[in-house]
Structure 1
Amino acid sequence: MSNKYEGLASAVHKFKDVVKKELDNENSEFHEALNGDKPLKFNGVGLECDKSEYFVDPSDVLFWHDPIAYLDELDRWEGQKVSDEYLLTKEYLEKSDQINLFYRLVESIKRNRTAPFVGAGVSYPYKLPLWGEALNNLVTKLEGTSKSDERAMLPALHYLDDVKSLIAQCNFLEAAQLIYDKNKTQFESFVFNTFDGSKVPKFFGVLELLPQLSDGCIITTNFDNLIERLYIDKNRSIEGYMYGTQSQNQFASKLIQGERCILKLHGNYNAPETYIFSKAQYEDAYGKEKLDYTKPLAKVLRQIFISHSLLFLGCSLEADKTLELFIDVVSSKAFDIPTHFAFLPDPFDHQKKLEKEDLLANAKIHPIWYQVAIDDCGTQNHSQLEDLIKFAVACATGKAKV
Structure 2
Amino acid sequence: MDLKRLINGSFEHAEEVKEFFKNKDVNDRLDDGDIEGYELLLRKPDGEVQSISPISAVLFSADLPVYRNIVRDDLENRRNQILNTEEFPGNLAAYDRLLNLVKHKATVIPFVGAGFSVASGCPSWSEYIEQEALNAGLKTDIAERLKVGDHENLMDEVVVALGIDLFTRDFRSNFEGGRITPALSPSSELAGLFNECYITTNFDRVLDHCHHESMPFDEKVVGKDDTGRFLKAIYRNEKYLLKLHGNIDEPRDRVLTKNEYDKGYGEGKVDYSFPIPRTLQRIFGSFTVLFVGCSLISDRYLDVLKETYSFAPALIPDHFAIVVAPDDEAERLLRDRHLASHGITPIWFANGDWDKPEEILKLLKLES
**Cα shift readout 1:192-229 (whole Å, capped 9, x = no counterpart):** 33222664346235323212541122222211111111
Match of 1:377 in 2: none
Moved more, 357-366 or 250-259: 250-259
Superimposed CA distance per residue, residues 53-73 of structure 1 (whole angstroms, 9 cap, x where no aligned partner): 9x895669x87xx99647777
Distance across 2 between alignment mates of 1:370 and 1:18: 38
What's the RMSD between the two structures over aligned residues? 3.9
Structure 2 residue 196 is matched with structure 1 residue 216: yes
Instruction: Identify the residue that residue 128 of structure 1 maps to in structure 2.
Output: 122
Report the CA distance shift for 1:133/1:21 in structure 2 as closer, same or farther (over 3 A).
same
1: CA distance, partners of 2:54 / 2:334: 56
Match 1:161 to one of 135, 138, 144: 138
Query: Amino acid of the residue matched to residue 254 of structure 2?
Result: Y
1:358 aligns with 2:328: no
- Greater shift, 319-328 or 266-275, is seen at 266-275
CA distance in 1, matches of 2:294, 2:98: 17
CA contact (8 A) 2:313 2:343 kept: no
Alpha-carbon shift at residue 276 of structure 1 (Å): 0.8
Equivalent residues in 2 for 1:332-343 (5 A)? 332-333=311-312, 336-343=315-322
SS state at 2:157 partner? helix
The correspondence of residues 278-317 of structure 1 with structure 2, limited to 5 A, is: 278-317=257-296
Consecutive unaligned residues in structure 1, runs of 5 or more: 1-15, 44-52, 143-159, 373-379, 398-402
* 1:116 CA drift (Å): 1.8
Structure 2 spans left out of the alignment, 5+ residues: 10-20
Structure with the higher helix share, 1 or 2: 1
Cα distance between partner residues in 2 of 1:21 and 1:329: 52
Kindly provide the CA deviation profile for residues 11-70 of structure 1, in whole angstroms up to 9, marking residues without a partner as x: xxxxx89937999x9766666679957666579xxxxxxxxx9x895669x87xx99647
The aligned residue for residue 167 of structure 2 is 187
Could you tell me how far 1:114 is from its partner in structure 2?
Answer: 1.8
Give the corresponding residue for 1:232: 212
Amino acid corresponding to residue 268 of structure 1 in structure 2: N
User: For 1:312-331, what aligned pairs fall within 5 Å after superposition?
Assistant: 312-331=291-310
Cα separation, partners in 2 of 1:28 and 1:346, compared to 1, 3 Å = closer
**Which deviates more, 84-93 or 67-76?**
67-76
- The AA in structure 2 aligned to 1:88 is Q
Shift in Å at residue 392 of structure 1? 3.6
1:196 is aligned to 2:176: yes
Does 2:192 align with 1:206?
A: no
1:225 partner amino acid: R
Aligned residue for 1:203, secondary structure, equals helix
Residue 126 (structure 1) shift: 2.4
Paired letter, 1:19: R
Q: Structure 1 residues 110, 165: CA separation in 2 closer, same or farther (over 3 Å shift)?
A: same
* Aligned-partner residue type, residue 86 of structure 1: R
CA distance in 2, matches of 1:357, 1:311: 16
TM-score, normalising length: structure 2 = 0.76
Counterparts of 2:120 and 2:51, CA distance in 1? 49
Residue 338 of structure 1 and its aligned partner are, at CA, apart by 0.5
Q: Name the SS of the counterpart of 1:276 in structure 2.
A: coil
Q: Distance in 2 between matches of 1:229 and 1:186?
A: 25
The normalised TM-score by structure 1 is: 0.71
CA distance in 2, matches of 1:37, 1:334: 55
2:92 to 92, 96, 99: 99
Counterpart code for 1:289: G
Q: Return the offset for 1:133.
A: 1.9
Q: How many residues align?
A: 344
Shift of 1:391: 3.1
Q: CA deviation at 1:249?
A: 11
Report percent identity of matched pairs.
23
With over 3 angstroms needed to count, the CA separation of the structure-2 counterparts of 1:243 and 1:84, relative to structure 1, is same
Cα 1:39–1:225 shift into 2, 3 Å: farther
Query: d(CA) in 2 for partners of 1:135 and 1:246?
Result: 27
